[in-house]
Structure 1
Amino acid sequence: MNESQARAEICRIGTSLYMRGYVHASAGNISVRLDDGNILITPTDACLGNLVPQELALINSGGEQINGSPASKTVLLHRGIYSANNQVSCVIHTHASHLVSLSIRGIWNEADILPPITPYYVMKVGHIPFISYRRPGDPEVATMVIECINKAIKTGKPIRGVLLDRLGPVVWHQSPSMASAVLEELEETAKLWLMSNCQAAPLNDEQIEVLRSTFGAIW
């Protein structure tokens, strides 16, 4: 994706997420890795529903800002994700309400914040590990997420996101639209899980195996 396309797509995705309640106020950030290796990222404290293409921060591969407004405080995390997985072209972080609520109320377990309660959660999202609380922008978060990515790759089950305790999800994929779809499915599954009072039965092993064999689900 070239720079002009990426600027427009980040703004489009930001507006879409904001209008549908997946982000609020100035919480959250979006980045895209360009064809030349540079990274475009939303500015610090920006409202994702009101982004301006020319104000997005352009960061080079060494982490230096080239132009735009000051980059999001989470830029180190975004750069870490890109360095750990060369298939990733977009990272999205939000403070999605149901997922933040889940982290406060109690996740399913450290390796999987939610049980596999729907087939599309298994197919489109997959395993989502939990990252214990650190302050916003803490460099240690990047290290912790990179460790999760590397561990998952070694097991043959790469992950598409993590949940930061009390700060919400960070998801990634090969394009902004694909990353946004992961975020939405993840947030809606958290909503369903909470609506069931965290009692919904997960799919059983046989049902999950059918999703693997039929759709190539990674679970």
Structure 2
Amino acid sequence: MTAIGSAATHAREEICSVGKSLFDRGLTAGSTGNISVRLDDGSLLMTPTNASLGDLDPAQLSHLDAEGRHLSGDKPTKEAFLHRCMYCEREGDGAVVHLHSTHSVAVSILRDTDPDDALPPLTAYFAMRIGRLPMVPYYAPGDADLAEAVAAQASAHHAVLLANHGPVVSGKTLRQAQYAIEELEETAKLFLLLHGRDIRPLTRDQADALRPR
């Protein structure tokens, strides 16, 4: 097996493993959520449309070329454009995870959520793994304007929150993207638990010292 073939096999297995972990812990439900990995040749492995992250088959993952053309496997997720617009703006990143995780979605629905920074830095780990979290306005699923809105934020932010939809997070590796989106969801949960109470988040200086560069 070639080095590229071996890397692709590992990526397929890792996508399925991460997907099952996210599904089994209730971070995604039904056929919601999608995962992708960018291979060394620039092509993408991606979860298929209407597939449960808890029951993925490595051999059926969608394979797309660098321009987004479907090469093999099942039909890709209809939200493939979210992944591609993150990769286009973040050349050093190798994976993207998008979830409809409950607490993050709940924050995206609150009327008073700050669109420039949707969650305060409640913990050091949120500041380190997410940094600032812009919220993209609502667009209907599949709307091409959503891709443009995400791309406009992605060059400066590896994590964005889609209004009334959910988070999209990229990382240098799939594990990095997974851990970051899990930290985002846990912070959203904390934020909702504390909502309406006086809180003591990190100061701006404390958060800025930890945020990813």
TM-score where L is the length of structure 1: 0.89
Contact 1:57 1:68 in 2 (8 A): yes
Match of 1:9 in 2: 14
Q: What is the distance in 2 between the residues matched to 1:141 and 1:6?
A: 27
Match of 1:130 in 2: 135
Contact 2:99 2:168 in 1 (8 A): yes
Are positions 1:218 and 2:208 aligned together? Answer: no
Contact 2:62 2:73 in 1 (8 A): yes
Contact 1:22 1:94 in 2 (8 A): yes
Q: State the Cα deviation string for residues 25-59 of structure 1 (Å, max 9, x = none).
A: 10010000001111011001110000000110000
Match of 1:155 in 2: none
Match of 2:27 in 1: 22
Displacement of 1:140 in angstroms is 1.4
* Change in CA separation of 1:198 and 1:87 when aligned onto 2, cut-off 3 Å: farther
Amino acid across the alignment from 1:71: P
Contact 2:122 2:202 in 1 (8 A): yes
Are positions 1:112 and 2:143 aligned together? Answer: no
Contact 2:136 2:160 in 1 (8 A): yes
Q: What is the distance in 2 between the residues matched to 1:6 and 1:179?
A: 14
Match of 1:202 in 2: 201
SS at match of 1:50: coil
Q: What is the distance in 1 between the residues matched to 2:37 and 2:212?
A: 24
Amino acid across the alignment from 2:169: V
Q: What is the distance in 2 between the residues matched to 1:79 and 1:17?
A: 22
Q: What is the distance in 1 between the residues matched to 2:133 and 2:204?
A: 18
Q: What is the distance in 1 between the residues matched to 2:181 and 2:89?
A: 20
Q: State the Cα deviation string for residues 110-141 of structure 1 (Å, max 9, x = none).
A: 11110111111111111111011111222211
Q: What is the distance in 1 between the residues matched to 2:84 and 2:203?
A: 37
Displacement of 1:62 in angstroms is 2.1
Q: What is the distance in 1 between the residues matched to 2:52 and 2:30?
A: 6
Match of 1:162 in 2: 160
SS at match of 2:97: strand
Match of 2:98 in 1: 93
Percent identity over the alignment is 40
Please tell me the root mean square deviation across aligned C-alpha atoms, in Å. 1.6
